[in-house]
Structure 1
Amino acid sequence: MRDIIIRSAGPEDVGGVRGVMLDTVYRDFGTGYVSRWHEDIVDPVSAYVVPERHALLVAVDAGGGDVVATAALDSRGPAHPPNPLRLAERYPSGETAQLRRVYVRPEYRRRGLARRLVAELLAFAEADGGYRSVYLHTDPAVPGAEAFWRSLGKVVHDEREDPGGGQGIVHFEIPMGR
């Protein structure tokens, strides 16, 4: 395996970060860019680098310097709507570290990069001292996503079990202090 460096993202990484994120929403999600869901992709520095208590990590191929994976954390809990009200109440903003944009380019998958990135974000959340929980949601239609998150946390709500299937999203809590 090539040498991969995991580090905090800086302004010089914006192009690579956007590339990984946009490729993922087009290829894996099939939605393409949707401003109400993906506005942080356009300006990841304002969303994750500048605010205190937020983080944006990149995995960089040391050989070519390309960003090959991303992972972010912010202090916003799940919004209602579109998420179920009980989740918005259980995971309030300010007390909840939400994992976002954990994306790995296909040719770099199955090498432990996402797990390493998440471990770094969990350490960041713990060091912050103000977070009481770590939350995320995933689209189970993305190959490998649901199994990956099940290996790290517990399902707190599966919308596929709701009447009508909700949005089909699976919501997770990842234990702190792993």
Structure 2
Amino acid sequence: MRDYCIRTATPEDLDGARAVMLDTVYRDFGTGYVPRWHGDIIDPVAAYLGSARHTLLVAVEPVEGDVVATAALDSRGPAYPPNPRHVAERFPSGRTAQLRRVYVRPEHRRRGLARRLVEELMAFAEADGGYRSVYLHTDPSVPGAEGFWRSLGKLVHDEREDAGGGQGIVHFEIPMGK
């Protein structure tokens, strides 16, 4: 296994991080860039590096030095709408650490990178002292995503079970203090 370097993103990492994120939303999600959903991808400095309570991590491949994975955390809880009201109320902004953009390039998957990145994000959230819960949502159509998050967290709400299927999103809470 390669010895990837996992670290807080630096200004030099931002182009590589953006590329990983944009490639993921185009390839895996099939949505492409949607400004109301993906503004943080274009301006990660404002979204993640401008606040001591937010972070953007990258995994860097040791030989070429390329960013091959990302993971972010911020203090913005899920908004209602588009998320279900009870989910938004359970995870209020300021007290909720939301995991975002846990993306790994396909050729680097199945090597433990996502798990390592999430462990680092969880340590960051716990060290902050102000977070009471850790939330994330995932698109279950992305291969491996739902199973990965089920292995780490507790299912809070599955929109596929809603009348009409909602957005088809699955919402999770990751236990703190593990």
Paired residue for 1:139?
139
Paired residue for 1:65?
65
Q: CA deviation at 1:149?
A: 0.0
1:20 aligns with 2:16: no
Q: Counterparts of 1:7 and 1:52 in 2: how far apart (Å)?
A: 15
Q: CA deviation at 1:10?
A: 1.1
Amino acid at match of 1:144: G
Question: What 5-or-longer segments of structure 2 have no aligned partner?
Answer: none
Q: Counterparts of 2:64 and 2:45 in 1: how far apart (Å)?
A: 22
Q: CA deviation at 1:3?
A: 2.1
Paired residue for 2:45?
45
Question: What 5-or-longer segments of structure 1 have no aligned partner?
Answer: none
Q: Counterparts of 1:175 and 1:3 in 2: how far apart (Å)?
A: 27
**CA RMSD of superposed structures (Å):** 0.5
TM-score, structure 1 normalization: 0.99
**Would you say how many aligned residue pairs link Structure 1 and Structure 2?**
178
Paired residue for 1:172?
172
Amino acid at match of 1:170: V
Q: CA deviation at 1:37?
A: 0.3
Residues 1-178 of structure 1 correspond to what in structure 2 (within 5 A)? 1-178=1-178
Amino acid at match of 2:142: V
Amino acid at match of 1:110: R
SS of 1:92's equivalent?
coil
